[in-house]
Amino acid sequence: MKKLSFLILLLFLATSCKGKEDKKSKAVTNNTAQLVISPVQHASAVISYDKLVIYIDPTGGKDAFAQFLHPTHVFITDIHGDHMDLKTLKALDLTKTTIVAPQAVVDKLPKELAADIQVMNNNDIKTFDSFNAEAIPMYNLREEALKFHSKGRGNGYVFTFGNQRVYFSGDTEDIPEMRALKNIDKAFVCMNLPYTMTIESAADAVLAFQPKEIYPYHYRGTNGKSDVAKFKTLIETANSNIKVVQLDWYPEK
């Protein structure tokens, strides 16, 4: 009888400990926020992280964002219409949204457009709720392209979500500031002529700062789309540790 009681006690203790371990595992899982980045079109994307919903350069009208929750933040890189689209911004519900943009963009935004409009210029660093943002310069280097993007006007952005760092280049060439980036997990890099850079220049810059994953985006120019398949080959041939991820930035309508 004593032996049976002892066995019952051991079974009870084992069950109790297992329950505590399960609860602990569940708590760890619940505290791990998932980072999801969804392409919308061309330069427009949506970042979801925990309770944050961040629209990057929203264009394409309200319907382009119908599947997403209302944004907590909107980040805009430059004044051109494929980045700052007032028609889309006015169509979205931004009554509880913070818009972040360089001064050149903010100067063109109606003050009543959003709940909060904040300026970030090149090299600024700010903390927003549960993430950080760094404004990275974006500009042209080629003489024939200087008229498109002057230095100091627009921003690329590096976002830090937990231990993950995400870079959106905006409209730029393979500038020193891009090449000097460190510890980038996901990089979204443009490549279209005549406005930004060739796939060869983009690949060379990416190989310099070595992100863990590279996402070609903003790759439609005046003569159609850039050869992102060739870009992928250039990266993987030179450094197989960098993963090239191709998303659908130009969905058929």
- Tell me: the pLDDT tens digits for 65-77? 999 999 999 999 9
Query: What is the structure's pLDDT at 28?
Result: 26
Higher local confidence (pLDDT), 232 or 32? 232
Judged against a pLDDT cut of 90, whether residue 136 lies above it is answered with: yes
pTM of the model: 0.85
Domains of the chain: residue spans and CATH: 34-244 (3.60.15.10)
Judged against a pLDDT cut of 70, whether residue 96 lies above it is answered with: yes
Q: What is the DSSP string of the chain?
A: -HHHHHHHHHHHHHHHHHHHHHHHHHHHHHT-PPEEEEEEETTEEEEEETTEEEEES--S-GGGGTTSPPPSEEE---SSTTT--HHHHHHS--TT-EEEE-HHHHTTS-GGGSSEEEE--TT-EEEETTEEEEEEEE---SGGGTTT--TTTEEEEEEEETTEEEEE--S--S-HHHHT--S-SEEEE---TTTS--HHHHHHHHHHH--SEEEE---EETTEE--HHHHHHHHHHH-TTSEE----SS---
pLDDT digits (tens, 9 = 90+) for 162-218: 999 999 999 999 999 999 999 999 999 999 989 999 999 999 999 999 999 999 999
Query: What is the structure's pLDDT at 29?
Result: 27
